[in-house]
Amino acid sequence: MNREQATFVGCAAVSLLAIALSFSLVLASCAFAQTPNATNPDQPATGTTIVPMAGFRLDVRPGAGGLRRNGNLVVVDSPVAQEEAWALQIQCPPIDATVAKEDAFCVSFDARALPPTDGNGTLHVSMAVNDPWDAIDEKNGFRTFDVPPTWHPFRVCFRAKQNYAAKRVYASIQCAAKAQRIEIRDLQLIAFGNVPEASLPFTKLLYPGENEDAWRAEAERSIERHRKRNLTVRVMDATGKPIPNARVRIQQQRQAYAFGTFVGDTPIQAGKDAEKFRQQTTRWFNRVTVPRYWADWGTDRPSGVVRADSIAQWASEEELELKTHVLLYPQFIPDRVKQLSNQPTRFREELESALDSALERTSEMPIAVWDGLNELRDVSLVGDVLGEDYYADVFQRGQNAQPNARWFINEYGLMTGGVKRDEFLQTYLQQIQSILDRGGPIEGIGLQCHFQSDLISMPDAWKVLNELSRFQLPIEITEFDVDTRDEATQAQFTRDFLTLVFAHPVTTGFTTWGFWEGDMWRPNGAMIRTDWSLKPNAAVWEEMIFDKWWTDQTIQTDNDGTAMARVFLGTHRVEAETQNVVRFQTIHVDSDDTVTLQIGVDHE
């Protein structure tokens, strides 16, 4: 699981002392109590504007560019990309009223990018408290948005994760992430109170290149070439003579490609929801990613170990391919071990004890894939204490213990990093090469893809996959979701991104980071709502994987008793019928193949 919002925590350095405005906000403590119609929670809620455009302060760091107010319009002039996007910042003073847990707010504005901006502009929007800086929304506290060259409405909602005192919570827009000129109009902060999520406004996703078809045609050709093979079926009678006009049906049983999902604790829970979850998992997926986090809240305590074992055991018994996440995740090393960073020997002993324990405990499990290292870019603790060579040792230790598993490295921001995407990609390429040069047996490359408002174009996504292909290693999308309430665009992007990844010849798997709203890191990214109703992206998943990319053909043999079909890689049931007699065989297709079915009849 990534923490992309943490990338910009540097805005904590912004002091709020300068925001001692003389005016008072028109706000009463009861202003947050707006609710939708109780009989229809999906009806849009009516909020209260608590900070109008005039109430927002323009903060400009010297030399960073300019922010200019013109009535209800703010013009952003960022001549160069800044390391800190908050070098140009539009910010309101801390709101006067107390904020209750679950109170919802919306930062509402329209924006457009102006020449000479290269492509789309970029804005970061947050609601937070200062000293120390902390986003008020636990699930999604810092958002990055592309800004198109035409006016686009942005309705960015946040929900308070706890109670806050008056004069603590503020909203801000950071504008210096890239060289750009942007106009922002009708900016306001709106309070809604504790209202249902479905009643809040939302921003329609910007999807660059959504109407371009050239890549789609190329993707279809690539799928035909790389994901399908020729299957020849020969049907003969009891004497070995070919049977013409025999009915042949080829039914796929399992995809060779890994279509997976992450599962949390739900599979080992009791109740109707858990039962539905288990059934849906086995129906939709052929692989599951199961958690095994060495963390204070994970396998550093006995209950966490047993929980991880139980989830993996359930998946194994369901004959789902098993992927384990993760052997080493520097972000979540237990605090007691982090505190030993000035004692390298003890630090290493604790680290290796945990790694060996995880490998030994799972040694009898049929694990197909391990994430060996996760999110190395964010936390350099292990390398700082034990040296960069140790990352290669992690992979070597894992492969020595479980040589039948494939060992992956995993990282975020390669598809979702916005203006930092290229920088993140270069860092990842360097890290992979460094580990390989040191003898680390990386056997696969993982890309997290937790999309929010920063959707990538399909040609750009193909370029990322091409760049990573230089290592000639399998590549997988390891963590996919699209966190939005714009369900129509969510479904279209899911269709296109899934198609593009499946089409790329080096990819071997595509894993969603959950599928049910009741067990999701970012619930809006789910394919199934809490009440088990299907969202539009669920229809896309079923259509693509179990219809478009699934073999179910009925054909007839020719005069030579032969029938030919183009089938998707994977396991198939091949059935031949003549004179009311049936013969069938189950085969696995991974190359052009021929299967012969002899039926116990005499053919004249």
Q: Tens digits of per-residue pLDDT, 401-453? A: 999 999 999 999 999 988 889 999 999 999 999 999 999 999 999 999 999 88
Helix (H) or strand (E) holding 494: helix 487-503
Positive or negative: CA dihedral 391, 475, 418, 3: negative
d(CA 413, CA 84): 17
Predicted pLDDT at 316: 96
214, two tokens: 């050239």
224, two tokens: 């035909």
CB 328 within 8 A of CB 380: no
Predicted pLDDT at 419: 82
Predicted pLDDT at 604: 54
Backbone torsions φ then ψ of 492, nearest 5 degrees: -65, -45
Length of the chain: 604
pTM score, whole prediction: 0.88
Other CB atoms within 10 A of residue 219 CB: 19
d(CA 472, CA 475): 9
d(CA 126, CA 138): 12
Predicted confidence (pLDDT) per residue in 158-206, tens digit: 999 999 999 999 999 999 999 999 999 999 999 999 999 889 999 999 8
Q: Please provide the DSSP assignment of 242-287 as one string.
A: B-TT-EEEEEEEEESSEEEEE--SGGGS-SHHHHHHHHHHHHH-SE
Predicted pLDDT at 34: 44
Residues of the chain with pLDDT under 70: 1-42, 603-604
Backbone torsions φ then ψ of 86, nearest 5 degrees: -80, 5
Strand-pairing partners, residue 482, are 451
270, two tokens: 């009791």
CB 333 within 8 A of CB 348: no
Query: In angstroms, what is the C-alpha Rg of the chain?
Result: 27
Positive or negative: CA dihedral 435, 324, 378, 380: negative
Helix (H) or strand (E) holding 346: helix 344-361
CB 408 within 8 A of CB 394: no
Predicted pLDDT at 59: 96
What count of Cα atoms within 13 Å lies in the side-chain half-sphere of residue 454? 25
115, two tokens: 């020449």
d(CA 110, CA 73): 10
d(CA 155, CA 453): 11
